[in-house]
């Protein structure tokens, strides 16, 4: 067995010895759940860790191992686990009822809070996920404009409905314009007739499509920071340019702020002073409970007025349910400007420390992200697009997976794709602990890197 294979096996053996109960539960789960899981993002080989409880910024698994949580349910737990105000709000509401089947004041109270923060939101409606939020925002754009085509960015992720399951994995052809393709089996090819794809951070690419499909495009949809595509931020000039192009070609601009609302008191739109026509939201606005929301200009959102003649239908059994509204109000209220500044500063320290650790280990590595978001890249090159992320992953052997596993062995819970995000209970102590574990993992993986990915050695 080579040195690299020995290191890999040692990491897997340590993981297996720490997580014996998780292994048993994973086998049990496979009886009724395909592959033993019900969420693609939480699965990883050889099996995921089964968690038992969370408190603040820590998690405890079924084997009693404790972790610092840098995954935070993929950014939805901006206040960590069992936040006192959120927990109290949930308990108080649950004692009354979890859902009424009728309106309750929490619906407009949370909406008022969100609208007071996001300058591009006059009114909003609730869904139960970010996927539904982007789906309904797109439907609103089509109804308002009378057009069918949506323009998204290569590598952009907006949930798992057919309309946006296009080029989540970016095009690597090298062609001037991305070659559009459906993301998975089950998504009809006909979607490509109504979803166009442009290059991220490339205004010429966007305008070329707007010209070619003049009078057909209803809206441009974009994540200001690309989530699954490596936490790559859009240039502010690109976002301003999109606003100008949307105005010039009379199309709507949709910001998917499901993840990025956490980065500024006024969302990313307020951070860069670019107002979209519609905004999709989720994650933190539910305080850890299922939620999505879409909102925007009053003249667009009025299409959803149920008293409006010929208004179109939008409903959902749990839309705006009082339990989620209570948790969401507590969560948004607790996300003060001071709290945002706190986790953003810690995020900067984390990214800087990770790059220093790569240098100390003599390995080429980069980090991307904004504020309280971070993503680790195994490359010496600048990462500016989703395609850059795929290209380095193709040459990195199993390094991302093994780093994730070794961080778990060292008590750090992060997203298996290399994403980290922070929660308000964290302090510099937690960042120092994470960086210590990260540094140790890199030195463990150094001989593996030298053998399997020598181009990454300095």
Q: So which residues are the catalytic ones?
A: 157, 256, 283
C-alpha closest to that of 206 among 183, 232, 184, 237: 237
DSSP strand E in 308-371: where?
366-368
Taking the C-alpha atoms of residue 243 and residue 353, their distance in angstroms, rounded to an integer, is 35
DSSP 285: G
For tokens 């998917």, name the residue.
256
> What DSSP string describes 32-96?
TSGGG-S-GGG--SS-PPPEEEEEBTEEEETTS-EEEESSHHHHT-TT-BS-HHHHHHHHHHHTT
C-alpha closest to that of 295 among 263, 326, 261, 318: 261
Contact 371, 263 (CB under 8 A): yes
> What DSSP string describes 430-451?
HHHHHHHHHHHHHHHHHHHHHH
The set of residues, in sequence order, having a beta carbon less than 8 Å from that of 293 and lying 6+ positions away, is: 111, 114, 124, 125, 126, 127, 133, 280, 281, 282, 285
Contact 301, 93 (CB under 8 A): no
Taking the C-alpha atoms of residue 62 and residue 57, their distance in angstroms, rounded to an integer, is 17
Taking the C-alpha atoms of residue 179 and residue 258, their distance in angstroms, rounded to an integer, is 26
C-alpha closest to that of 252 among 220, 280, 279, 223: 220
Contact 282, 133 (CB under 8 A): yes
Number of alpha carbons in the 13 Å side-chain half-sphere of residue 202: 18
- Which H/E stretch holds residue 369? none
């Amino acid at each position: 067995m080579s040195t690299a294979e020995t290191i890999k096996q040692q990491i897997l053996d340590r993981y297996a010895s720490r997580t014996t109960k998780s292994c048993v539960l994973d086998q049990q789960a496979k009886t009724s759940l395909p592959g033993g899981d019900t969420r693609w993002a939480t699965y990883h080989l050889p099996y995921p860790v089964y968690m038992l409880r969370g408190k603040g910024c820590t998690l405890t698994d079924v084997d009693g191992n404790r972790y610092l949580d840098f995954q935070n349910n993929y950014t939805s737990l901006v206040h960590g686990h069992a936040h006192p105000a959120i927990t109290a709000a949930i308990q108080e509401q649950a004692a009354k009822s979890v859902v009424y089947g009728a309106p309750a004041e929490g619906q407009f109270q949370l909406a008022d809070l969100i609208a007071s923060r996001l300058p591009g939101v006059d009114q909003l409606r609730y869904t139960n996920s970010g996927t539904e939020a982007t789906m309904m925002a797109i439907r609103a754009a089509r109804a308002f404009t009378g057009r069918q085509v949506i323009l998204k960015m290569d590598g952009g992720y907006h949930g798992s409905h057919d309309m946006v399951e296009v080029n989540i994995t970016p095009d690597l052809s090298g062609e001037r314009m991305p070659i559009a393709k459906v993301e998975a089996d089950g998504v009809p090819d006909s979607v490509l007739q109504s979803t166009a794809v442009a290059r991220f951070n490339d205004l010429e690419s966007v305008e070329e499509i707007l010209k070619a499909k003049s009078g057909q495009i209803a809206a441009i949809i974009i994540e200001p920071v690309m989530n699954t595509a490596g936490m790559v931020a859009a240039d502010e000039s690109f976002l301003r340019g999109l606003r100008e192009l949307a105005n010039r070609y009379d199309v709507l601009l949709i910001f998917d702020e499901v993840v990025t609302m956490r980065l500024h008191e006024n969302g990313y739109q307020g951070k860069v002073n670019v107002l979209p026509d519609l905004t999709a939201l989720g994650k933190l606005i539910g305080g850890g409970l299922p939620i999505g929301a879409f909102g925007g200009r009053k003249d667009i959102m009025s299409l959803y007025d149920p008293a409006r003649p010929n208004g179109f239908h939008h409903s959902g059994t749990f839309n705006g349910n009082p339990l989620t509204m209570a948790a969401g109000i507590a969560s948004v209220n607790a996300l003060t400007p001071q709290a945002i500044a706190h986790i953003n500063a810690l995020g900067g320290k984390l990214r800087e420390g990770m790059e220093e650790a790569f240098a100390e280990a003599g390995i080429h590595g980069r980090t991307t992200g904004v504020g309280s978001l971070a993503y680790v890249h195994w490359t010496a090159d600048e990462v500016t697009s989703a395609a850059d992320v795929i290209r380095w992953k193709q040459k990195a052997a199993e390094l991302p997976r093994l780093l994730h596993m070794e961080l778990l062995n060292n008590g750090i819970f992060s997203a298996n794709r290399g994403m980290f995000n922070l929660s308000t209970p964290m302090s510099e102590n937690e960042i120092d602990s994470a960086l210590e574990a990260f540094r140790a993992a890199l030195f463990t993986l150094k001989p593996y890197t030298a053998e399997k990915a020598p181009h990454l050695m300095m």
